[in-house]
A and B are shown apart, each in its own frame.
Chain A
């Protein structure tokens, strides 16, 4: 379904516990067949709580880094590249971030004994 233009290499550069994470990746220079990616238009970053099943995405434009929010629990991230024809690559390798701060309990009740 997606026509890959290249393989992206993504890594988690740094973590900002409350503000989010910074993703950085290598610029795409070739298409999937190895020819120059001369019509590359930009990148799209995806994230969500399920691996390879992302619930949100951000158009990064023609930059190779982006700051993204973290979600409660584990947040998974991946990036794609797209060209001027709207063709989008496969997902990059996936990285994840596990929140350090726990979520509060729910359903607190107080009952007289």
Chain B
């Protein structure tokens, strides 16, 4: 029994912190030149020393991406537009980073909600009439 309890606690902990799948969507820029690709980055660190790690690429006109198995913590993401020129040599020209979107696991819903009826209120003594009668 002593060996089973820690294992049970570990399983409970893992279940509570399971990875998430995230769906990203964005709006293509209107201004020319038209993007040929998009890159999704995770942004870590603090301003002005952000670190950007590429986590996905899509080919226009697709403006969405699914990221699997994201660890349950606060994450920031940005996306860029890419214009890929093939001549005279393959070259990617990339926009600045978009405004960041963030995701963090929501708290679990409370469980075992219970309701109890209050006991009936005892009637207060009628002091006004008590003095008159006295």
Stretch from B8-16, B93-101, B116-124, B126-134 contacting the other chain: B93-101
Q: Say yes or no: is A56 at the interface (Cβ < 8 Å to chain B).
A: no
- Which chain A residues border B24 with CB–CB below 8 Å? 108-111
- Which chain A residues border B27 with CB–CB below 8 Å? 105-107
B98 and A100: CB pair below 8 A?
no
Cα of A99 to Cα of B100 in the assembled complex, Å = 24
- Which chain A residues border B82 with CB–CB below 8 Å? 102
A104 and B25: CB pair below 8 A?
no
Label chain A's interface by main secondary structure.
loop
Label chain B's interface by main secondary structure.
strand
- Which chain A residues border B26 with CB–CB below 8 Å? 105-109
B93 and A104: CB pair below 8 A?
no
A104 and B32: CB pair below 8 A?
no
**Contact count band on A:** 20 to 34
**CB nearest to B32 among chain A residues:** A73
A100 and B93: CB pair below 8 A?
yes
- Which chain A residues border B100 with CB–CB below 8 Å? 108
- Which chain A residues border B22 with CB–CB below 8 Å? 110-113
B102 and A102: CB pair below 8 A?
no
**CB nearest to B29 among chain A residues:** A103
User: Given known contacts A110-B77, A112-B20, A113-B23, is B32 in contact with A105 (CB within 8 Å)?
Assistant: no
Determine which residue in A100, A105, A112 has the highest number of CB atoms from chain B within 10 A of its CB, and name it: A105
- Which chain B residues border A108 with CB–CB below 8 Å? 24-26, 77-79, 98-101
Q: Say yes or no: is A72 at the interface (Cβ < 8 Å to chain B).
A: yes
Within 8 A of B (CB), among A65-97: 72-74
Q: Say yes or no: is A98 at the interface (Cβ < 8 Å to chain B).
A: yes
Min distance, Cβ B29 to any Cβ of chain A, angstroms = 4
B21 and A112: CB pair below 8 A?
yes
Q: Say yes or no: is A101 at the interface (Cβ < 8 Å to chain B).
A: yes
- 12 A-B Cβ contacts within 8 A? A49-B31, A73-B31, A100-B83, A102-B35, A104-B29, A104-B78, A104-B95, A110-B75, A110-B103, A111-B23, A112-B20, A113-B21
